[in-house]
Copies of this chain bind each other. A is one copy, B any other.
Amino acid sequence: MDKMIFAEAAGRIIPKEDKIFGISNRAKRATETLGKDKVINGTIGALMDEEGELMVLQSVDQIYRSLTPSEYAPYAPIGGTAGYKEAVKKELFGELELDSFTPVVATPGGTGSLHCAITNYSKKDEKILTTDWYWAPYGKIAQEVGRQVEVFEMFSQDGGFNIQAFKEKLQWLSLVQDRLFILLNTPAHNPTGYAIAVDEWQEIIDHIKTIDDTKVTLLVDVAYIDFAGEARKQREFFRLFENLPDNILVIVAYSMSKTYTLYGLRGGAAVAITGNQDIAEEFVSVMEYSARAAWSNTSRLPQVILEKAYADDSLLKKIDEERRSIRNMLLKRGRIFAEHAANIGLEMVPFRGGFFASIPTDKAEEICQLLEGYGVFLVPLAKGIRVSIASINVKQCQILPQIIKEAMDKIG
């Protein structure tokens, strides 16, 4: 939409329809007309079972059912219920016992945290630095408040995190603006499935620590943390955020959407990590202010569900077990897809786990359009094609690489 009729564009470019939503609608219509067996819908960002039905943890539904109106119906405090805030800390840092202030502000999903964090820790017209493979809504979240996304090349030649490209882009940004805001989505990165390794994290932190004259905000979006591998191992990198100098603020964007299979209930939080109590208190004030001004309070229901989970060890254990089982199913699908891709020489972006995998190509739009004719629905990105491993079954993981390969060969 280039020109507004009644609304104000205010520098934003607003599409008539969300792209992924459009593809997803076509996939649904195709499933209805052609039948489930004739369609591969690799667009959905939710974990489906082998029959294509949404998977919801039974233990979580059990909590839903146990709640009384006085538990789910009242307003929650703007920043979240006390029990929720404690549970989120345990959820993220439980066994690490970080020697830092870790204030929590509840937000609707991870998106809400990003909105509040970008609003409060960057300036208008500044650039937010992220990887060149990134979840498209980051661009919208930034644009809405007058910021832009700047990217650095995510992968080095050997398929690891490209620390050199990161350093160079950060250096350039520090020359053109007052403060720095870095946004990294890991582990089980959307859209590639990559996880920044602990030694790579160490390099990142060591480098950021050399910047002593600028405020640096490092936002880590961990929306998929429980679908990358073993829970404790995936949380080890948080340890590196202890004892950072006061000019570095870490904010973790937490989401219950995937971890508790409660996509539609909009549970999430922003959690800061800092050694400075004043910065921690200011974080709560400014983040709560932005929350108040955008959506008021965050839905109480997911907060109470997390509280209940952490109030009952046997229940928490049951949730962990159920989650492990669906994670293993997901990781198995990913392995199968990757193996079949490797067997036929279909290149993939480095993949470690999670909901998505990506195929690099500069003709994503054309290939995806061709694939739709075969009943295959995938999401074209600037740098490639995103496949939701989460929403297709094992059999589809076996045959899809070949179908993509053929379409790519046809487009040439």
Contact = CB atoms under 8 A, between A and B. Distances in A.
B18 A78 contact: yes
Contact of A289 (B120, B140, B145, B297): B140
Given A75-B263, A299-B266, A7 B120 contact: yes
A76 B264 contact: yes
Interface stretch (A105-113, A347-355, A379-387, A401-409): A105-113
Interface stretch (A64-72, A234-242, A316-324): A64-72
A46 interface: yes
Interface in A24-58: 45-46, 53-54, 56
Contacts of A121: 6-8
A5 interface: yes
A74 interface: yes
Nearest to A137: B292
A124 B232 CA distance: 46
B295 A266 contact: yes
A10 interface: yes
A327 interface: no
A21 B77 contact: yes
Determine the interface band of chain A, counting residues with CB < 8 A from chain B.
Answer: 35 or more
Interface stretch (A90-98, A185-193, A201-209, A275-283): A275-283
A299 B388 CA distance: 23
A290 interface: yes
Contacts of A293: 111, 115, 137, 140-141, 143-145
A6 B249 contact: yes
Contacts of A120: 7-8
A299 B264 contact: yes
A18 B72 contact: no
Contacts of A301: 264-265, 299, 301
Nearest to A248: B6
A261 B73 CA distance: 7
A181 B66 CA distance: 45
A5 B74 CA distance: 34
A306 B145 CA distance: 32
A4 interface: yes
A54 B72 contact: no
A379 to B, nearest CB: 15
15 contacts: A8-B121, A8-B122, A8-B123, A15-B285, A21-B78, A69-B261, A73-B262, A73-B265, A107-B295, A141-B293, A144-B290, A264-B299, A264-B301, A266-B266, A299-B301
Interface of A: 1, 4-8, 10, 12, 14-18, 21, 45-46, 53-54, 56, 61, 64-65, 69-70, 72-78, 107-109, 111-112, 115, 119-124, 137, 140-141, 143-145, 215, 246, 249, 257, 261-266, 276, 278-279, 281-283, 285-286, 288-290, 292-301
